[in-house]
Amino acid sequence: MPDPRLTPPKASTNSDRDHDFEIDDTLIDQFTKNRISPTISAVDNETNDDVDAPLPEKRRSRLLSESLHEKAGNYVLTFGFPGSGKTTFHSFLVRYLMEEGPFRSEFVTKNDFGEVDYDINRMVTNWKSEWRSGRFPAPTPVGEEHIRELRFDVTPLQGVRIPLQFNLLEVSGETLKEVLPTEHRDPVLARVLFELLSNEKIKFIIILLLNPAVHDNDDLFVNFLSYMDTNLPFNIRQRASLGIVVSKPGEALKTLKDLRQGYSHVAELRGKHTEDFVESFAKSTYRIWYDWPDPKKKMISRLYLGEIEDIKGQKRLVRPDYQSIEGIFDWMYQQFTGKTLGPTWYQKIARLFHS
């Protein structure tokens, strides 16, 4: 029986793009573009009496005790304020890779030194369960001991089949915002994150998650990059790829219409309009992105999840849409492997002869 994820690719047009980076549209598999899920019925929130209980010592982040300078590989650090959607972004990406996209994807519980962290199993299993009910996963608890490294092996099932192993760093926004200086302390970045970012054997993608409901995004991102410039032994701009992802694109479009004229006719935030929003809403962050040394190592995209409804006073995702997350992962795959997802040159020629 053929794999249901392997449907014929459908080319997108420029007007369909969620992202702002140059990839040949004929190489992007748009098999998820029109996919929807049945409407989800209301499910009451489950309560967890242990949510505030102290974390057992054996379940503290294994990164606290690892030799971080010995690590290597591909890492994604998503940076943003509390409530910006970092866990939503990561969990939706995991759902796409493991359940919806044309990939064979597995999470890896063993670290570089053979130690096992079953909290990764707990986290991914919980994420998948929540999304099946249309519920948004809970944010990551505050504190360096809760930082998690989620490692995935991803192999495309069509087109370019180069496998990719990469790591997501799941970090609380409360922990990240300590990079902002206050009257009583200087900016600080969690030791685990700083040591990983200082490791020249690691290839980093930095995602700045822009929340249209928070007007201090600029301060957070500028201070983060300034901290990196001051404390790293190399220029992070020369080594890392930079993505700006706009969460809650509906709210972002309303804000864009308030900030600039000429957008009253725009029905959706996508493509060039997403870049216009970033330029208007987070001017310093946009300048950092605009001046990034290598134009092939940057992108701007919205994060559209699909249709969201209020069910018994709670927001539920009732019809997921994977087009945004597909485009973002296409870019991530290209940054880490140097290859573009989609049919190979030979496969495209073969299709011409069989069409």
Q: Which domain CATH number covers 154?
A: 3.40.50.300
Q: In terms of C-beta density within 10 A (0-12 exposed, 13-18 middle, 19 or more buried), how is residue 167 classed?
A: buried
Domain that holds residue 274: 14-29+60-354
Look at residue 42 and tell me if it is in a domain: no
Amino acid 353: pLDDT: 58
Amino acid of residue 51: V
Q: What is the pLDDT of residues 36-89, one digit of tens each?
A: 333 333 333 434 445 455 555 556 777 877 788 889 999 999 999 999 999 999
Q: How far apart are CA 34 and CA 329, in angstroms?
A: 18
Look at residue 4 and tell me if it is in a domain: no
Q: Is the pTM of this model over 0.85?
A: no
Task: Give the 3-state secondary structure of residue 157.
Answer: coil
Strand partners, 151: 108, 167
Find, among 348, 344, 333, the residue nearest to 154 by Cα: 333
Look at residue 100 and tell me if it is in a domain: yes
Kindly give the pairing relationship between strand 103-108 and strand 148-156: antiparallel
Find, among 127, 124, 113, the residue nearest to 62 by Cα: 113
Q: In terms of C-beta density within 10 A (0-12 exposed, 13-18 middle, 19 or more buried), how is residue 20 classed?
A: buried
Strand partners, 299: 243
Look at residue 226 and tell me if it is in a domain: yes
Look at residue 139 and tell me if it is in a domain: yes
Look at residue 47 and tell me if it is in a domain: no
Q: What is the pLDDT along the chain (355 residues), one digit of tens a residue?
A: 555 555 444 444 444 556 655 443 333 333 343 343 333 333 334 344 454 555 555 567 778 777 888 899 999 999 999 999 999 999 999 999 999 999 999 988 877 667 777 888 889 999 999 999 999 999 988 989 889 999 999 999 988 899 999 999 999 999 999 999 999 999 999 999 999 999 999 999 999 999 999 989 999 999 999 999 999 999 999 999 999 999 999 999 999 999 999 999 999 999 999 999 999 999 999 999 999 999 999 999 999 999 999 998 889 999 999 999 999 999 999 999 999 997 665 555 655 655 5
| Segments in 78-154 forming alpha helices (H) | 86-95, 119-132
Strand partners, 202: 73
Q: In terms of C-beta density within 10 A (0-12 exposed, 13-18 middle, 19 or more buried), how is residue 178 classed?
A: middle
Find, among 178, 108, 97, the residue nearest to 149 by Cα: 108
Instruction: Evaluate the CA torsion angle 15, 37, 209, 329 in order and state its sign.
Output: negative
Amino acid 58: pLDDT: 55
CB 192 within 8 A of CB 67: no
Four-CA torsion 222, 224, 230, 232, nearest 10 degrees: -140
Sheet holding 164-170, edge to edge: 103-108, 148-156, 164-170, 73-79, 202-210, 241-246, 298-302
Read off the tokens for 281.
Answer: 């809403």
Look at residue 267 and tell me if it is in a domain: yes
Q: How many CB atoms lie within 10 A of CB 41?
A: 10
Look at residue 54 and tell me if it is in a domain: no
CB 63 within 8 A of CB 192: yes
Task: Give the 3-state secondary structure of residue 52.
Answer: coil
The position carrying tokens 């980076």 is 21
Amino acid 2: pLDDT: 53
Q: How far apart are CA 86 and CA 169, in angstroms?
A: 10
Read off the tokens for 125.
Answer: 């299993």
Kindly give the pairing relationship between strand 298-302 and strand 241-246: parallel
Structural domains of the chain, count: 1
